[in-house]
Amino acid sequence: MSALDSFGDELKALKDRFRGEIEFQAPLSKFAYYRIGGPARFLVTPREFQDLELIHGLLRRNPIPFFVVGWGSNLLFPDHEFQGLMIRMKHLFTGVEEIVPESRAPEGQGVLRVGASVGANVLLRIAAERGYGGLHRFTGIPGSMGGMVAMNAGTHIGEMSDVIVRSEWVNLLENSETLQIHSRVHEASDFSYRRNHFLTKGDLLTHIEVRFEKAEPGRVKAEIDELYQRRKATQPVEYPSCGSVFMNPKSHGIRAWEVVEKLGLRGHRIGNAQVSEKHPNFIVNLGGAKAADVRALIELIKTRAQAELGIEMHEEVRILS
Ligand SMILES: Cc1cc2nc3c(=O)[nH]c(=O)nc-3n(C[C@H](O)[C@H](O)[C@H](O)COP(=O)(O)OP(=O)(O)OC[C@H]3O[C@@H](n4cnc5c(N)ncnc54)[C@H](O)[C@@H]3O)c2cc1C
């Protein structure tokens, strides 16, 4: 019997003890922001820490490919079946609390401990209610804290690495009976533009701590509202996408959307995927697009950028094969 089959049998047998959801042949297009993707052979959405421990045990006995998904806003899933386990972080680690940090925060600042599955939108709502300034940099990013740390997500105002103090995680590949919580106080070298340099294979973030500035709630809300309006005006929010497809090729002093523009590819379409008319660093799903369509557009842009402009483009979106 293959590891996939025996994993599946053991997963079925877990149904009564697992508090979250277990699904078989679950269509990934249902929750991917792109609305693209074939089924996952196995999809679990844990609700309690014990669920993660059960999964850890299962993976130790039956080593199969697995992938941790946050809110699925930076992922392009394959059209074919994902032959492994997707672990979707949605219902576990959802708290936001103000804490007294180990080393005292400077005057006028505070620290929040935030669960990895908390969405940026939820954090921003709380920030506006309670006057947590400085977090408006995440306005409009449709991701979870876990995904935003993994991606060092940010906007023109700033990125995750500017405010993150500490992370906590478990490792699902760890060769131990129980899951250990690891933690790290961050240094500048842990992050670079849209990258983290501390997570390793099998790591699943559980909590993070972020710094905020004490501010007047009305002012925080006004800053967030203004940034939302700006995004609605400049980004194709009416279509499914993954946000920016490419990282800005900073060493060339040009932004990714300008590269696509120079190539004359604004609005270019393959199948039902299209380089957005509104923002050429977005590739949108016009309805029923395939991962193959999006990948073909990505390849076209990369090939032509290299050949015609001498620019090597790198994807920001994470593509699963
Ligand atoms: C309309 C739109 C606008 C966007 N605008 C921006 C923007 O302004 N700035 C920006 O930076 N991004 C932007 N994005 C991209 C995306 O929202 C970010 O990259 C976000 O950080 C992804 O978070 P997620 O929870 O959806 O992660 P996912 O897409 O689910 O996963 C992304 C990566 O994070 C990892 N990951 C997720 N959760 C965990 C966890 N708990 N532990 C360990 N690893 C984890 C995954 O394995 C994967 O490698 C945009 C996307 C869309 C659709």
DSSP class per residue in 76-99: E--SS-EEEEEEE-SSSS--EEEE
- State how far the Cα of 320 lies from the Cα of 267, in Å rounded to an integer: 25
Task: Please confirm, yes or no, whether 167 is among the known catalytic residues.
Answer: no
Q: Which among 41, 88, 137, 194 is annotated as catalytic?
A: 194
Residue 1: predicted pLDDT = 82
The dihedrals phi and psi of 19, each to the nearest 5 degrees, come to -80, -25
Q: Domains of the chain, with CATH numbers?
A: 3-88 (3.30.43.10), 96-234 (3.30.465.10), 250-319 (3.90.78.10)
Beta carbon of 75 within 6 Å of any ligand 1 atom: yes
Ligand 1 centre to CA of 74 (Å) is 4
Active-site residue, 316 included? yes
Does any ligand 1 atom lie closer than 6 A to the CB of residue 59? no
Catalytic residue among 244, 295, 304, 315: 244
pLDDT in tens, the chain (321 residues): 899 999 999 999 998 999 999 999 999 999 999 999 999 999 999 999 999 999 999 999 999 999 999 999 999 999 999 999 999 999 999 999 999 876 667 788 999 999 999 999 999 999 999 999 999 999 999 999 999 999 999 999 999 999 999 999 999 999 999 999 999 999 999 999 999 999 999 999 999 999 999 999 999 999 999 999 999 999 999 999 999 999 999 899 999 999 999 999 999 999 999 999 999 999 999 999 999 999 999 999 999 999 999 999 999 999 999
Q: What is the DSSP letter of 65?
A: -
- Measured by CA distance, the residue closest to atom 46 of ligand 1 is 69
Gap from CA of 108 to ligand 1 centroid (Å): 30
Cα–Cα dist 294/274, whole Å? 8
What is the whole-number distance in angstroms between the Cα of residue 152 and the centre of ligand 1? 9
Name the residue at shortest CA distance from atom 20 of ligand 1: 143
Does ligand 1 lie within 6 Å of residue 69's CB atom?
yes
Ligand 1 pocket residue status of 205, Cβ below 6 Å: yes
Q: Please answer whether residues 294 and 36 qualify as being in contact, where contact means their C-beta atoms are separated by less than 8 angstroms.
A: yes
DSSP conformation class of 240? -
